[in-house]
Structure 1
Amino acid sequence: MTKERKPQRGGPMGFGPGGGNMMMMGQKPKNFKATLKRLLGYLKSRRKQFIAVFIAAILSTVFSIIGPKIMGTAITELFEGAYEKLEGVQGGGIDFQRIAQILFLLAGLYVVSSIFNFIQQYIMSSVAQKTAYDLREDVNQKLEKLPLRYFDSRPNGEILSRMTNDIDTISSTLQQSMTQFITSIVTIIGIVIMMLSISPLLTIISIVSLPLSIFVIRPILKKSQTYFADQQRTLGQLNGHIEEMFTGHQVVKAFGYEKTAGEDFDEVNEDLYQAGSKAQFISGIIMPMMSFIGNISYVLISVIGGILVTQRAISIGDIQAFITYTRQFTQPITQTANIANIIQSTVAAAERVFELLDEKEEEKEKPSLHLGKKAGAVTFEHVDFGYDNDLLIQDMNISVKQGQTVAIVGPTGAGKTTLINLLMRFYELNGGSIKIDGIDTRDLSRSELRQNFGMVLQDTWLFNGTIKENIAYGKNEASEEAIIRAAEMAHADHFIRTLPEGYETILNEEASNISQGQKQLITIARAILADPPVMILDEATSSVDTRTEVLIQQAMNHLMAGRTSFVIAHRLSTIRDADLILVMDEGSVIEQGTHEELLAQEGFYFELYNSQFSKKAAG
C-alpha cells in the first residue's frame, strides 16, 4: 500500500530538508516487565547454558579481581626485602623465589580468568544466535498466517525492520551486553569486598566520590541530552534531504532545483553543525570533571594511605592494590549504566516483535469440499464487504460463465482491486457468498482456491534467480520443454534466447537487467505455464512502447483463450470485446453489460468512455 506523502518545505515533488527517517534514540518500551518476562521465556529452554554462562562470568571476574591483591603482595614482598637489606637485617633481602612464585600464581589466575571469559562468550554467542533463530522462525511462521489487510496497513520497511533490525538488536544484546552486565555487577561487588578487606576508611573515601561525581555532572548531562536530541533531529533531516535529492536526481535537474537544494542542504548542515558542536563540547566536559573528582579521591587515598603505611596499619602493596581497585571501580558502574539503556532499547525492540506475533491471524480454515473438475464459473451473491464494519461494497451480485472475459472499469478508488482481493479470499466477506463452479469459496482451503487463479499485475514481480526459475514459479515440477513452450506462447522466447545465458540468465533483485516489457512477458509466461481455469489481469501495457504493447496484448489473448478472465481495465479501448463489463463506482457495480449495451445506455460508462477519447482527440 502506498501512503500519501505530505509535501515538505522547499522544492518540486516535495523535495526539501524535512524528510528522512528519524533515528530512534533511547526508545522506551510501553510495558517493560511483561515484555522482558516474555523475552526471558525464550531462554527457558537454554536454562542450563545460561547458568553455565553466569558461573563462568563470575569465575572469570573473581579471578581477575584477585589479581591486584596478589600483585600488591609481590610489591610488599619486594619493598620489605629491599628495606631489610638497606637496614642491614641479618638474613634479610629480596626473596626472588617467593616473588617468582607470586608472579606465576598471578599469571595463572589471569590465564584461568581468560579461559572462563572465553567459555562464557562462546556459550552466550550460541544462546544468542539460537534465540534469534527461534524468534525469526516464529515471525516467519506468523507472517504466513497474517491476512492481507495487515500488510496493506503497514509499510513493508516497518515489517522487515521488525524481522531483521529488531531481532538483530536482541541477538547482539544477548551476546554482548548480557555477559557485560553480569561481569560488571560481579566486578562492582567483588571490588567493594576487596577494598573493604584492605581498608574500610579508604573504601568510604573512594565511594563518596561517586555520588559527588553524579551530583556535579547531572546538570551537564541534562543539558547535553537536549543538544544530542537536536543533533539527531537535524541528522535525520539531513539524511532525508540527501536521500531525496539523490533518489530524485533527474527531477531535481529537470526542474533546475540544484541551487535551492544546495541552499537547503547548507541550512540543515549548519543546524547540524551548531547542535553537534554544542553536544560534543558539553559532553566533552563530563570526562575531565569526573577525572578531576576522581583525582581528588586518588590524592586523598594516597595521602591517607601513606600515613597508614607509616603507622604500619597497612602494607604498601595493599595501597597499590587499593589504588588499582579505585581506578577499576568506575568502569563497571559506567558500563552498567550504558547497558541499562541498551537493555531498555532491546526490550522496546522485543516489544515490536511481540506486537507482530500477537497480531490477529487469518480465520481458521474449515475446508469441507473440493472443486474436482475445474470449470471456472464465478458468482457473487449479495456480497457485502468493508473495513471495521464500514461497508464499501453492498449487495453485489455478479454471474460469470465459464470462459467469459469480464472487464472491471471505474475511477480510482471505485473498488476494482478490492473485488479481486475478495475473489481470491485475501479478505473475508461481511456478508453474502462468492462461489466457483457452485461451491462457496469458504468451503475450500485457501491454497486450493488460489491454485485456480493466475495473476498478471501491472506491477511485475520477479525474484533473484534464473529466468527459467521465474517462469516455473508455482509449478516447480514443470519440464524445460513446458517452460519454453509457455515462453513461446507469451512471445518471450525470442528475447530470452538473445540474452547471453538464455533461460539460465540470472535476474538481479530488482530485475533491472531486463526491460519493463520483458518483465511483463515473463510474468505472462509464468501464468500460462500454471494453466489455471481463472485469470486475473491488471492493465499490463501502461508503461511499455507500442511494439511491446502489441506483443503483450497477443500474449494475453493466448492466456485468456478458453479461460474465465477478470481484466482490470484502465484504458477502455482494450476491453471492447469483453463478454461482460462491470462498471464500478464507490464500491458498487452500477452498470454491467457488453460494450455496445453500455454505450447505448448513455450512462456512467458512456461518459467515462467518451471522456478518454475526447482527451485523446484534444491531445
Structure 2
Amino acid sequence: MKARRQDMTARRLIKDLLSQKVLVSAASLGTIIQVALTVYMPVLIGDAVDTVLKENSLQLLYPILITMLLVVIGNTLIQWINPILYNKLVFDYIKDLRQSVMIKLNQMPISFMDKRSAGDLVSRVTTDTEQLSNGLLMVFNQFFVGLLTIIITIVSMARIDILMLFLVLVLTPLSLFLARFIAKKSYSLYQNQTKSRGSQTQFIEEMISQESLIQTFNAQEEAVEQFTSINEKYANYSQGAIFYSSTVNPSTRFINSLIYGLLAGVGALRIMSGAFSVGQLTTFLNYVTQYTKPFNDISSVMSEMQSAIACAERLYSILDEEVVQENVTSQIDSDHLEGQITFDHVAFGYDSNHPLIKNLNLSIPASSKIAIVGPTGAGKSTLINLLMRFYEIDKGTIYLDGKDIREFSKEDLRQQIGMVLQETWLKTATIHENIAYANPEASREEVIAAAKAANADFFIRQLPKGYDTYLDDAGQSLSQGQRQLLTIARVFVSIPKILILDEATSSIDTRTEVLIQKAFEKLMEGRTSFIIAHRLSTIKTADLILVMDKGDIVEYGNHKELMAKKGMYYRMQMAQAS
C-alpha cells in the first residue's frame, strides 16, 4: 500500500513538472547536448593515444587537440546554462505548489484547521517545500544526466567490444540493486522524519509564543524535558534515514571499483590478443567510468528522492482535501438587509457521536441587541460559529431575513458581519493597514475616525510614526489591551450590518471599557447585535438575553424578566455581585 502511494505521488509529481513544456523542452535539449559532448570526449582521448603511437604523430595530433578544446569549452558552457534552466523549472513549480497549498488552506473550513496542529501545517508549507525543491534539483542535475549517460555509453561501448560490454552489463547492476534496497529502507524513515519535524515545529511555536506563561508556572524544566524527548525522537529518525542513505555511495563506489579493475585486466588480455588497440581500451575504460559514475549519482539521488516524495505526499494530501462546493442561489442586498435571524430546529455537534446543540429554535428580530451568557462550554461561541458558517449545521436551518444562509456564499454572508473576538489578531503591517483590514479602500480620515471611536487614537499618536508605524512583530510589542483596541477600531471602519462581540473588551481597563461600550451602543443602533459576555454588568440593556447550558437555551428574556425568574441567570448575577 505504501509503495503504491509512493508511486502515485511520483507520477503526479512528474506530470505537474511536465506541464511546464517550454522549460522542460529546453532543459531536456541542454541535457542531451551535455551528455553527447561528455561521451564524445573519450573518443577523442582514445584517438589521441593511438595517434601518439604512430609516426608523424605531432602533426596528426593538433586537429584532435583543437577538437578536444572546443568540446571542453562547449561542455563548460552548457553545464553553466543547464542548472539555470533546472532552477527555473523547479522553483517555478515549487512557487506554484506553495501558492496552491496556501489557497487550499484558506478554502478549508475551520473544522479542518481545528483537527491539525498549526506547527505541522507551517512545516508542510515551509520545510517540506524546501526539501522537495532540493530533491528535485538533484533529480535534474544528476538523475536525468546520469540516466542519459548510461544509455549513450552502452551504445558507444557496444561499438567497441561486445564481450567487454557484456561483462559491464552483468556486473554493474549489482550496485543499483544495492542502492534500491537501501532506498526502500530509508523511505519509511524519511516519512517518520517529516512527521516528527512537524511535531517539533508545533512544539517550538507553542513554547516561544507562551514563554511568559511557562515561566509564570515555573514549567521551564518540564518544557525542556518535553522538547528533549521530541528532539531526540526527531534526531533518531533523521540519523536512521541519513545513515541508510549515506551507505549508498561508498557501497556502490566499492563495487564499481572492483568492476573497473576486472575490466582493465580483461582489456589488457584483449590487447595482447590483438582484439583492439590501446586507444580503444583507453576509450572503453573512460566509458566504464562514465557509465558507473551515474550509478553513484543515481543511488545518492534515490535516497534524496525518498525524502522529496515523502514531502510531496504531505503537500498533495492538503491539495486533495475535498472542498464542499457552495450552492449559491441568492445574493444579499446589503442596502436592504434588515438582520432578522431565525434558528429553526438546528442540531449540531463537533463530534457526530456527541451532539452539543440538539434542537434549537430561536427567532431574533431585526436591529435587536442579543446577549448570550452561560458557563464555559455551554455553546455560546458555537452559536456564533454556526451563524458565520465556520461550521455547517447537522440538521435544521438558519434563516437571514427569511432566506436559508446556505443560499448565500460564505464571502457574501461574512461581509455583512463584523466580529470582535477575545483573542486579538493583527498582521505584520502598519497601524493604518491593520485598522483598514476589513475595508482596504478606507481613507486616512475614516481610519482616524474609527480609532477615535474605539479610543485607540491617543496611544496610536504616541507611537514613533503614528498611523504609519509598522508592526513588524504583528503587534506583539503592543499591550494586549492596545491590540484589542485596534481590532475594535477595525470593526468601526467596516460598518457591518450584523455585529458580534465575543468578550470584545476583556483585556481593556474598566475606564476605557465604559467609553468603548458607549461607542458600541452607538454602533449597534439599527443593527442586529450579538454580545457574548462573562461580565454580566455589560449586558443589562440587551433586548434579549439568552442563557445557555450544555448546548440548550435554558432561559431567555430581558434582564428584569430573568432576575424575576430567579433561575440560572439570577444565580450567575448573584455570584458575580458577591
- TM-score of the pair, normalised by structure 1: 0.78
2:37 corresponds to: 63
1:375 corresponds to: 338
1:499-557 CA deviation, whole Å, 9 max, x = no partner? 11111111224211322111111111111122223210011333444455445445444
Please give the secondary structure, in 1, of the residue aligned with 2:329. coil
1:360 corresponds to: 323
Q: Does 1:408 align with 2:354?
A: no
Report the residue type matching 1:463 in the other structure: K
2:264 corresponds to: 302
Report the residue type matching 2:450 in the other structure: A
2:152 corresponds to: 190
Aligned pairs for 1:439-458 within 5 A: 439-458=403-422
1:177 corresponds to: 139
**Cα gap change, 1:325 to 1:407, in 2 (>3 Å):** same
Displacement of 1:471: 1.5
- Equivalent pairs counted in the alignment come to 576
Please give the secondary structure, in 2, of the residue aligned with 1:507. coil
**Cα RMSD (Å):** 4.2
2:282 corresponds to: 320
2:467 corresponds to: 503
Q: Using the alignment, how far apart are the partners of 2:87 and 2:191 within structure 1?
A: 33
Q: Using the alignment, how far apart are the partners of 2:189 and 2:9 within structure 1?
A: 31
Instruction: Identify which of 547, 553, 558 aligns with 1:594.
Output: 558
Please give the secondary structure, in 2, of the residue aligned with 1:465. coil
Please give the secondary structure, in 2, of the residue aligned with 1:42. helix
1:331 corresponds to: 293
Displacement of 1:356: 3.1
Displacement of 1:291: 4.9
With 548-557 and 324-333 compared, the bigger mean Cα shift is at 548-557
Aligned pairs for 1:37-56 within 5 A: 37-43=11-17, 45-47=19-21, 49-56=23-30
2:546 corresponds to: 582
Displacement of 1:239: 8.3
Instruction: Provide structure 1 residue ranges, at least 5 long, that are not aligned to the other structure.
Output: 1-26, 82-91, 615-619
Q: Using the alignment, how far apart are the partners of 1:611 and 1:212 within structure 2?
A: 80
Instruction: Identify which of 490, 503, 518 aligns with 1:526.
Output: 490
Report the residue type matching 2:24 in the other structure: F
Q: Using the alignment, how far apart are the partners of 2:196 and 2:113 within structure 1?
A: 31
Percent identity between matched residues is: 40
Instruction: Identify which of 111, 119, 124 aligns with 1:149.
Output: 111
Contact 1:524 1:555 in 2 (8 A): no
Instruction: Identify which of 472, 477, 489 aligns with 2:441.
Output: 477
Contact 1:378 1:436 in 2 (8 A): yes
Q: Using the alignment, how far apart are the partners of 1:403 and 1:574 within structure 2?
A: 18
With 219-228 and 535-544 compared, the bigger mean Cα shift is at 219-228
Report the residue type matching 1:598 in the other structure: L
Contact 1:213 1:290 in 2 (8 A): yes
1:420-466 CA deviation, whole Å, 9 max, x = no partner? 12222333344443333444434444333323211111111222221
Displacement of 1:604: 2.6
Contact 1:369 1:443 in 2 (8 A): no
**Cα gap change, 1:431 to 1:345, in 2 (>3 Å):** same
Q: Using the alignment, how far apart are the partners of 2:478 and 2:36 within structure 1?
A: 63
Report the residue type matching 1:381 in the other structure: D
1:8 corresponds to: none
Report the residue type matching 2:391 in the other structure: Y
**Cα gap change, 1:183 to 1:389, in 2 (>3 Å):** same
Report the residue type matching 2:341 in the other structure: V
Please give the secondary structure, in 1, of the residue aligned with 2:294. helix
Please give the secondary structure, in 1, of the residue aligned with 2:172. helix
Please give the secondary structure, in 1, of the residue aligned with 2:336. coil
Displacement of 1:202: 3.8
2:536 corresponds to: 572
With 252-261 and 168-177 compared, the bigger mean Cα shift is at 252-261
Please give the secondary structure, in 1, of the residue aligned with 2:424. coil
Q: Using the alignment, how far apart are the partners of 1:64 and 1:585 within structure 2?
A: 78
**Cα gap change, 1:423 to 1:247, in 2 (>3 Å):** closer
1:286-340 CA deviation, whole Å, 9 max, x = no partner? 7666555444434333333334334443322333333333333333113223434
Contact 1:29 1:345 in 2 (8 A): no
Please give the secondary structure, in 2, of the residue aligned with 1:190. helix
Contact 2:186 2:241 in 1 (8 A): yes
Q: Using the alignment, how far apart are the partners of 1:36 and 1:226 within structure 2?
A: 15
Displacement of 1:223: 9.7
Q: Using the alignment, how far apart are the partners of 2:245 and 2:17 within structure 1?
A: 37
Instruction: Identify which of 207, 210, 224 aligns with 2:172.
Output: 210
Contact 1:309 1:316 in 2 (8 A): yes
2:51 corresponds to: 77
Q: Using the alignment, how far apart are the partners of 1:29 and 1:288 within structure 2?
A: 26
Contact 1:29 1:344 in 2 (8 A): no
Q: Using the alignment, how far apart are the partners of 1:277 and 1:347 within structure 2?
A: 19
Q: Does 1:542 align with 2:538?
A: no
2:71 corresponds to: 109
Contact 1:579 1:594 in 2 (8 A): yes
Contact 1:524 1:559 in 2 (8 A): no
Contact 1:462 1:511 in 2 (8 A): yes
2:432 corresponds to: 468
Displacement of 1:275: 9.5
**Cα gap change, 1:75 to 1:271, in 2 (>3 Å):** same
**Cα gap change, 1:141 to 1:273, in 2 (>3 Å):** closer
Please give the secondary structure, in 1, of the residue aligned with 2:455. coil
**Cα gap change, 1:260 to 1:69, in 2 (>3 Å):** same
1:155-181 CA deviation, whole Å, 9 max, x = no partner? 344445555555555555555414532
Please give the secondary structure, in 2, of the residue aligned with 1:31. helix
Displacement of 1:581: 1.2
Instruction: Provide structure 2 residue ranges, at least 5 long, that are not aligned to the other structure.
Output: none
